[in-house]
Structure 1
Amino acid sequence: MSQSPPDLKLPQRMIRGHHKNFIAAPSYESSTSVFGHASPKPQYLESDLGTTALYDVPPPSGQSKRHVLIIHGLNTPAIGMLPLAKELQALDPDAYVVLFDLWGHGFSSTPLVAHTPQIFHFQIFQVLGFLQWTRAHIIGYSFGASTAVRFALHNPWAVLSVALLAPAGLCDKELWGEKMQELLENSEGGDAQAIDAVLDWLEGGPLIVPTDWRERVEAGEVVAEVLREWELQHHSGYPHSVLSMFREGGVTGCVEDFRKFAQLPVKKIGIVAELDAVCSKAQLTDVGFTDVEVVEKANHGFVRGTTTSEIARIVYRFWTQ
């Protein structure tokens, strides 16, 4: 005799067809005219959800003694975290660092499904499986930190430690303003306006690319504004992924997940920027974090620029203490 409620109806498959289940990402060659070959060429992992681009940064010593997975934030792709990877390896030459582009960013495609945390957890598992890593030290930045919290909460066996850099997930929707909240809550139509509002909020206004960006890129600097402009021009799925990540991915509303994660016997640290409105030390301590470092006079973009080396020192000390 059936035990199912008579009115239960499971949703139909979210993905249909073989060639129409994702928006393809741009090719690596489309970026070389802007960025040259400063970033490593990605490897590609295929799945029903689409293509994930993975970046391998082998240990300078040749000895892979510490496996590190870095999860980037919303808006800027994985290569935006490359300076941090290099700073970490300067301190720990045995660190094997791997980065990957979240869905809809860089050279990863945009799946035509809601961008809930689970599809990003799938990416993490696929990357770990490809590398044949059973466990790793995970570093998550902003949206990537929120993703890392939920992943570790449900899969603590897969993490050796978790470092959260300026984590999203705890911020109040009031930060977005009333108009943007309305646009995000209205999922029926109006997506173009919602996308514009989200991108403007992420940029703090219209996107302005510095006039000296080319010289800075040639010098090895990551200029986030150029990366975002390139994504807007070349990745047709990017704006849609960003919007869905804001709506369903865990940018906010994760207080209880953070609270549960804080109680797990997993080695963890929070690193926040003094001038960041997205996450503060008080927010992390309020949910039970006991190890929180503050980078003074820094804002949310502190993973790039002059504070990158300070973050690397904090993470390395956390690993080795």
Structure 2
Amino acid sequence: MAVVEELTDREKFILEAVIRQYIGLAEPVGSRTIAKKIKLPLSPATIRNIMADLEEKGFLQHPHTSAGRIPTDQGYRYYVDNLLKKKGRKRVKKAGLEPLAKIHEREELMEGACRLLSLLSKYVGIVISPKVTDLRMKHMDFIPLTPHKILVVFVSENGLVYNKIIEARESYTERELNMMNRLINERYAHLTIIQIRQRLMEAVSEEERFYKKLCEHINLLSEEISKNQIENLYLQGQSNILRQPEFADVQKLKALFNAFEEKIKLIRLLDKCIDYEGVRVIIGAENDDPDIQDCSIVMARYQMGNRASGALGVIGPTRMRYQEVIDLVDSTAKVIDNLFSSEE
């Protein structure tokens, strides 16, 4: 990573003023505009010189068609890392997030969080749900649908509900499935699916045929979960991007929507913050994927007890309202944290 040159107080002040103005209006910012906005007794000529210095240092750039300047990715990075923190973050009002506390069904909770992130930010909301195989079981039911199709209902200790249909190799009677339900709930509560599978495999080695049947169901469930990884990703508010002037360029818009379609790219992106403490901000070209390099992503993990279990965030233009979005993402993650911990 390149060493970023330190700025003088005046340069910091002007850089912040330019960024705030550009975030609000989406138009290159000139020295006269800044002179009218700031309270310091600086002439347009002095401000113009400071802006030229900031451009030389890589914090601003000068579009060919305009006399004004706009921030670079390096300028935004300095703004996020140094200027926002000094002001201290205001807590986002949690009134808009209160509906989440009333949701316990896994898919509805993830969709609700994603919808609120998009609605409150006016950008794109993105959520990756907890890996079901990491959740500890409170209750599990095998419900017959047809002779070979079984609906598995998994309820975690945190109150999340996961449903999946599996295709069994042989048919089972309702009585057999009820016996399996009783056994798995009496003996394997509080374990994860992976742990349950391991225990069942140990029991199978003792030549208990009934355990072998049950182990088959758990294996099928694990396979279905792994096969459908993109089902864990929720995305809302893509149409909000159409309102951003940066994406009037059709090629940029196509590239971004291509990334939205290839959900595995977004899953990999969110996975990067699972082990990251606090809110993470990735700006412009800091993204490995060229399709997303005109965007910034603000994301945070949410936890289940002491275990990192999922991530959520907001995707928007690099000309993002960083202060608001960082607070929103941070608060949403904490609401889900509290919801999980209150269920333990």
Higher relative contact order (CA 8 A, sep 6+): 1
TM-score, normalised to structure 1, is 0.24
Identify, as 1 or 2, the structure richer in helix.
2
